[in-house]
Structure 1
Amino acid sequence: GPALPPRALPAPSRAVPHLHCPSLQHFRDNYLIPQRPVVLEGVMDHWPCMKKWSVDYFWEVAGCRTVPVELGARYTDEEWSQQLMTVSDFISQYIMAENNIGYLAQHQLFDQIPELKEDITIPDYCCLGEGEEDDITINAWFGPGGTISPLHQDPQQNFLAQVFGRKYIRLYSPQDSENLYPHESQILHNTSQVDVEDPDLVKFPNFTKAAFQSCILMPGQILFIPVKYWHYVRSLELSFSVSFWWS
């Protein structure tokens, strides 16, 4: 009979590969240069944050600091907003109260609170990039279960390091961009219109053509997200992650 068109069936999901402390050269040749996602294990085992960080510890070292907090399950929601509040208010209103969804997501946290920066280490693999160490952006992501980062892409390579809690993550190649229906607007052109876990296939029929990889990122694991790779992230429980953006 006639050959089926390629990928007529829903594209398969594949697990992201895992590697234990690969050498710089192995990581470069097999993941960085070909731009393939990978979960790195054993790299952050010795970071002090793995033993020290907890809700109580943040309250203690950062409670009185004022930080921007994102309110709402995801930044594409109508009711999403940003508000300044102290870390202790954020913890009592959003971490302890189960019904409110709010996310502390920001890069000034480590500049404001040097104690926290001493608890993490920039992964050695970042030295394979063109930039200097000062060019690396370090972001904190702290929030309850249920927070979602909609499917989006970033302009730099990303290491997402999981300190506590677990995150469900889905990854789509930039080659599939046209099947992911990016927003038309300039401000959201790096974000997909599709709700990944409940897609409207009448509105976005080609979404089923896009192959994806997925993983549950566990504490102590670092996910390499290549530049412009589309990623969707849902916190499964109270979670703290650190991301390193590098070029």
Structure 2
Amino acid sequence: MAAPDSIKPFSPEETQRILHHLQQPAVFMNMTCGWPVLHWTAEHLSDCLGDKLVRFRLGRKKETHTPLFETQCSYVEAKLAHFLSWTRDQAGTDVGPFFEYPKSEYWAYADYKYIAILFQDKPSMFEDIKWSEFGFEGRNGRESTLWMGTEGANTPCHLDSYGCNLVLQVHGRKRWHLFPPEDTDNLYPTRIPYEESSVFSQVDVLHPDLRRFPAFQGARAHTVTLQPGQVLYVPRHWWHYVESVDPITVSVNSWIELEVDDVARVSEAVTKAVVSALKSAPCDDNTDNWLNPTEEGVASHNDNMQYVNLAVRASAQRQRGLCHSKMTQDPRDTCPVKRDSRGQIIKNNDLVRHSVPFNVPFGPHLIPVRCQQEYSLEARGMTTKDLEFKLSRNCYVQTPDDCTASSDAALRTKLASAVRLHQGKYECSPGLTQCRPCDCVDVTSENSSEDYEEPVHTTITTNDLLDCLVHPDIIAHVTKLLLERHTGSHRTTTPS
């Protein structure tokens, strides 16, 4: 008879079905009991890796009101023993290359570490991670990444172009701030720094500069603090900012494509070609470090165009295959054609399972990260400086145990009025960083003449041009036109 702690609330088949229907972030509880990976403390990993060097990213703890992108960080390669000595801040201990970075001023993060590479000489450790219990047969640590950092270590707010994420918190706690895809314009997307699989936000979501990014006031934050043993599901194209809140945190991330998205690959190919072409061209303002460290290097324009063509052909070929399948389908079979992440058609019994109406079984074992009303200011320890920003937000979420409804309706009304005035004073085009005063503002402030600012006229840079050209809406339209052109379905105009 199975031990009580080995009984999981959902079977692999049930979990797989849940993942196919989840449209919002959610936390799986009690699904990782017995997973050996839960013993992966920093000390344990140090013993396993020995003298192996690991690359750490370091950033200053000071507030800047701008995201600290990976292109702006410092980097060191050190043994985990050095990292542990540094975090303990013990005088006289060997901290290796960390000695240049006072712990009081810096955080450190070993992020994006592919477990298959990190433990290539210890493949048995791959089996410590059992994603097969989430319905992904044969998937383990080999397809996962390791993340280990100190308090304050963070990943800038971004969305992943492909697939979704399953994140297991192993040690310590991490706080996730998530925003739905519909908030893309409110988060001011940028492709500089460039990373093929990520789109970054120009906003420091914890300390936003609302004069530059006023639309961020309309963003809807979903926030959850992930505890050890819990697994967070991040749906495709959900924005997320992640910060470590304990002295040392360890987590494991597995990126998964539930279904192949060829259109997304075409979009990324187009983006890569445009960004590389403009940023590789000699220009006085092309002096920034624009390529994210996770990218291997700058591809030639010829290579990028080959990539565009391959992506367009693959997408068109798959669409033709789907059309052919529908034409040859038995009329009595009402289930749609559906393919898995390898492009294989899902069997009929699976199709029936996916086509039947399904309610996600939220409850004690699956907790949604909801969008709820702002809770009391006192509970959040907010200052007067924070009030206008915090209450201008539509929502803010913690785990159910953390949430407390605010009862101060009078204060909320007063501050909401102040926010409306602020929102009316500036307007900003999505994706651009320069804002201008609105021409039609009804200013009621007694000091309106003092508050008025002349429009700022600045030189348009290559990055400004790119923010417009590779804005998600523009790239989506270009992708559509390219696919139509390739299939011959685009409209052509003839001279009159």
> Normalising TM by the smaller chain, what interval?
0.7 to 0.9
- Residue 185 of structure 2 is aligned to residue 178 of structure 1: yes
- Specify the code of the residue in structure 1 equivalent to 2:155: S
Partner Cα distance (1:222, 1:117) in 2:
18
Correspondence 1:203 to 2:203 = no
Kindly report which structure 2 residues correspond to 1:75-114, keeping only aligned pairs within 5 A, or say none.
76=69, 79-93=72-86, 95-97=87-89, 98-99=103-104, 100-105=106-111, 106-107=113-114, 108-114=117-123
Aligned residue-pair number: 223
Per the alignment, residue 212 of structure 1 pairs with: 221
Deviations 1:151-170 (A, max 9, x none): 11122211110011011111
Contact 1:31 / 1:37 at 8 angstroms: preserved in 2? no
Cα displacement string for residues 14-58 of structure 1 (whole angstroms, at most 9, x for unaligned residues): xxxxxx8345565555553353211001111210122x3223212
Q: Residue 58 of structure 1 aligns with which residue?
A: 45
The 1-side partners of 2:17 and 2:220 are apart by: 23
Alignment of 1:9-158 (within 5 A): 21-23=9-11, 27=15, 31-50=19-38, 52-72=39-59, 76=69, 79-93=72-86, 95-97=87-89, 98-99=103-104, 100-105=106-111, 106-107=113-114, 108-125=117-134, 127=136, 133=139, 137-154=143-160, 155-158=162-165
User: Match of 1:241, as an amino acid?
Assistant: S
Which of the numbers 231, 239, 253 marks the counterpart of 1:230? 239
**Structure 1 pair 229/134, CA: closer, same or farther in 2 (3 Å)?**
same
**Amino acid paired to 1:185:** I
1:136-179 per-position Cα deviation (integer Å, ceiling 9, x unaligned): 73110111111111111122211110011011111111121111
Query: Relative to structure 1, is the Cα distance of residues 44 and 174 closer, same or farther in structure 2, using a 3 angstrom cutoff?
Result: same
What TM-score comes out, normalization by structure 2 length?
0.41
Return the index of the structure with the highest Cα Rg: 2
Letter of the 1:215 counterpart = V
The range that moved more, 233-242 or 207-216, is 207-216
Which whole-Å deviations, capped at 9, do the CAs of 1:196-236 have from their partners, x for residues lacking one?
11111111111111212111100110000112211111111
The structure with the largest helix share of the pair is: 2
Note if contact 1:110-1:138 (Cα within 8 Å) is conserved in structure 2.
Answer: no
Structure 2 distance, partners of 1:38, 1:119, is 23
Query: CA 1:117–1:28 in structure 2 vs 1: closer, same or farther (change >3 Å)?
Result: closer
Report how far residue 117 of structure 1 moved. Answer: 2.4
Aligned to 1:15: none
Q: Which moved more, 1:23-32 or 1:54-63?
A: 23-32
SS at match of 1:234: strand
Higher relative contact order (CA 8 A, sep 6+): 1
CA distance in 1: counterparts of 2:185 and 2:173, whole angstroms: 30
Cα 1:136–1:63 shift into 2, 3 Å: closer
* CA displacement 1:52-81 (0-9 Å, x = unmatched): 322321221113112221122575167403
71-80 or 33-42, larger mean C-alpha shift: 71-80
Cα deviations by residue, 1:100-156 (Å, 9 ceiling, x for unpaired): 41111111324354353232222533529xxx8499731101111111111111222
Residues in 2 aligned to 1:41 and 1:148: alpha-carbon distance in whole angstroms: 24
**Structure 1 residues 36 and 30: CA distance shift in structure 2, 3 A:** farther
Runs of 5+ in structure 2 lacking a partner? 1-7, 61-66, 90-102, 258-496
Give aligned-pair identity as a percent.
30
**Structure holding more strand per residue:** 1
CA contact (8 A) 1:39 1:222 kept: yes
Q: Equivalents in 1 of 2:24, 2:207: separation in Å?
A: 26
Helix, strand or coil at the partner of 2:120: helix
Gaps in structure 1 of 5+ consecutive residues = 1-19
Higher mean C-alpha deviation, range 179-188 or range 136-145 = 179-188
What amino acid maps onto 1:223 in structure 2? L
